[in-house]
Amino acid sequence: MDENVKTAEREVTLERLREIDDDLRLPAVPEQVSYPIETLIPEARTQTPAVGQRASRPDGRLHGLGQTKYIDDLSFPGMIHAKIKRAGISKARVKNIDVSEAEKMPGVMATLVGSEIPVNSFGPSYQDQPVMVNGTVFHAGDPVAAVAATTEQLALDALDKIKIDYEPLEAVYDPIEAMKDNAPQVHEGESNIYSSKVIQKGDVEQGFEASHRIYENTFSTQMVEHVPMEPHASIADWDGNGRVTLHSSLGRITLGRADIARTLNMPINRIRVIATVVGGNFGGKNEITTEPILALLSKKTGRPVKGVYTREDEFMSSTTRHPFIMDYKTGMSKDGKILARKVRLVCDGGAYCSWSETTLGKACILSAGPYNIENLYVEAYAVYTNKTMTGAMRGFGAPQVCFAYESQMDDMAHDLGIDPLDIRRMNAFHEGSASPTGQVLESVVVRDSLEMAAERFGWQDWNK
Amino acid sequence: MDVKLTINGEEKSASVPPETTLLRLLREEFNLTGAKIGCDVGDCGACTVIVDGIATNSCLMLAGQVQGRSIETIEGLANMDDYHPLQKNFEDLGSLQCGFCGPGIILSAKQLLDDNPDPNKEEIQDALAGNLCRCTGYTKIVEAVADAAREMRGNREAA
């Protein structure tokens, strides 16, 4: 214990307390410019004893022992199992759902359809995603009905007994087609484009006029599934007091709790979400999926209900990385300086918005690359298609545009006869460069990083 | 259907429906949840256990096929006093992140080290080819297996 505090116990005066307080405070940096700066800012490596030390993960031992309990490893007395019937058709009107045969099966305790969801919509930007199909199917992985039964196998068997009449509707799969005026509308409205952004800097046409050569390329990236080793899983327990407890593999439990409260039309304090170790997320477990369905099945049966995705569910219905179509037009000077760039990004959002707006914004800002470009014009669109929905995945749009601008950079370097490292070094941001949206950048080390990397992997030798 | 088998050295029996896989038998009848359901079709290796000395996808084996056979699961590799050098080295190196693939990978590695106490890097990679991991990039996993092999050879020489 601090000596001062000990002796101060009885004879403390207000003055003495102020002195102690002053001793403990750090001098305010901006006001005391004459103060030797070294003593104010501790060395990074001495700030905490942890820096520079090896550490083992606190959960590492249980992982290796096989004792980590993921959702599917938990079970509760009386627990039953839910499975979800997927639409299997990408755009349709549901004329009729008949669950009577499934309900007659021994071991089946309850079924659920979309019309039973109190508020059948959710989503982080726009609430355009139904928890379960109610009337219209927007993509093949949409949940149409759910079954809770005493075993997983019985629940799966019961799915086959559910009869659904569909009236197929015209679907659209290509984002470029979906942008056209006469394209079938994924959701009711005037356009499939639900978000657009523009960044403008300098005069791009003037930049092209001054260019020695202009390069035009189109790049595209594909849809990518996260494939977490652990499929999405939750257990819902609706108790007699009208409280629901959800054990879930959700990564963002506070956001999820709000969405669950919204969809169940319940006060948020009636909902308890317990998150446990997640068997891989990568962005794919950031939103609710079947949690409201399981909660309602638990309400119907009075039993805890476990729902674990099959790998097929995972591929068909969980979020994916956005496919992008990227048109790049870049004007170069003879010596390899980027004079102007025009970019058009089309982000195929799939059936629901999810995090597409965020992704589009980030892709837009990063689409010029870490390069000084005086004349820049970026336009970007997020588009609905009748495909598996897209959502958060590591990078939020950054990897897609990076693939485009770096691929074009290599092509241009080759054509101009400039070393690929030199052309990047020449154009790269430096201290005080402004980003496309005008942010002045500090601590810019991109050139140092490039040079260090080139040296470490022997770029000059490899390049010969 | 009645099944009798040996799990981690102990004789066990259970009565299960005929479609029960070895994976579900272990998880649901014996509460040995170390083996995971990742894909349920034999692609990911998260369900790996050792059947009569061979690392096996337990999701592809029916309970009826293990009648009278001997199974080793991750739970059998450690007791309250001690754990396997593989488990120790995986922990020390931080080889696992989310950990879901861990039990399967450690058991595939155990079969390798049981058969070949001094594997090279390629042999380790080959032995783990049936086990997917989405977090780590495998580097630390391969290192931990090599370290464990070295440690086990050292222990054997000292003994």
* Model ipTM value: 0.96
Q: Does A228 contact B134 at a Cβ distance shorter than 8 Å?
A: yes
The reported pLDDT for the residue numbered A36 is: 47
Least confident segment among A10-14, A417-421, B105-109 = A10-14
Structural domain count, chain B? 2
Is CATH 1.20.120.80 what the domain over A175-225+322-462 is classified as, yes or no? no
Q: Please report residues of A whose CB lies closer than 8 A to that of B99.
A: 59-60, 62-64, 68, 277, 279
User: Which residue type does A305 have?
Assistant: V
Closest CB from B36, B40, B91 relative to A64: B91
Percentage of chain A exceeding pLDDT 90: 84
Mean pLDDT of chain A: 91
CA A126, A132, A137, A142 dihedral sign is positive
Query: CB-based contact (8 Å) between B60 and chain A?
Result: no
- pLDDT band for A284, please (50, 70, 90 cuts): very high
CA distances from A212 to A215, A337, A411 (A): 10, 10, 15
- pLDDT band for A11, please (50, 70, 90 cuts): low
Domain final position from B29, B58, B77: B77
Closest by CA to A137, choosing from A171, A161, A176, A163, is A171
Closest-CA residue of chain A to B78: A65
Q: CATH number for A79-169+227-317: choose from 3.40.50.920, 2.40.170.20, 3.40.50.720, 3.90.1170.50.
A: 3.90.1170.50
The reported pLDDT for the residue numbered B104 is: 98
Q: Encode pLDDT of B28-54 as tens digits.
A: 999 999 999 999 999 999 999 999 999
Domain final position from B44, B77, B110: B77
Query: Are B18 and B66 in a shared domain?
Result: yes
- pLDDT band for A41, please (50, 70, 90 cuts): low
| pTM for this entry | 0.89
Closest CB from B17, B39, B83 relative to A65: B83
Chain A contact probe: residue of B134, B138, B140, B145 with most A CBs at under 10 A: B134
Q: Please report residues of A whose CB lies closer than 8 A to that of B17.
A: 153
Distance CA A340, CA A112 (A): 56
Q: Does B90 contact A64 at a Cβ distance shorter than 8 Å?
A: yes
Domain that holds residue B66: 2-77
Q: A155: how many CB neighbours lie within 10 A of its CB? A: 26
Strand bridging mode A375-384 / A338-350: parallel
Query: If you write DSSP's letter for every residue of A177-238 in order, what string do you get?
Result: HHHSTTSPPSSSSS-SEEEEEEEEES-HHHHHHT-SEEEEEEEE---EE---SSPPEEEEEE
Closest by CA to A86, choosing from A164, A140, A166, is A140
The reported pLDDT for the residue numbered A6 is: 47
Q: Please report residues of A whose CB lies closer than 8 A to that of B94.
A: 55-57, 60
Distance CA B55, CA B71 (A): 10
Q: Please report residues of B whose CB lies closer than 8 A to that of A227.
A: 134
**Alpha-carbon gap: B139 to the closest alpha carbon of chain A (Å):** 16
Distance CA A154, CA A249 (A): 24
Closest by CA to A144, choosing from A123, A117, A169, is A117
Q: Are B6 and B69 in contact (CB under 8 A)?
A: yes
Q: Where are the domains of chain A?
A: 3-43, 79-169+227-317, 175-225+322-462
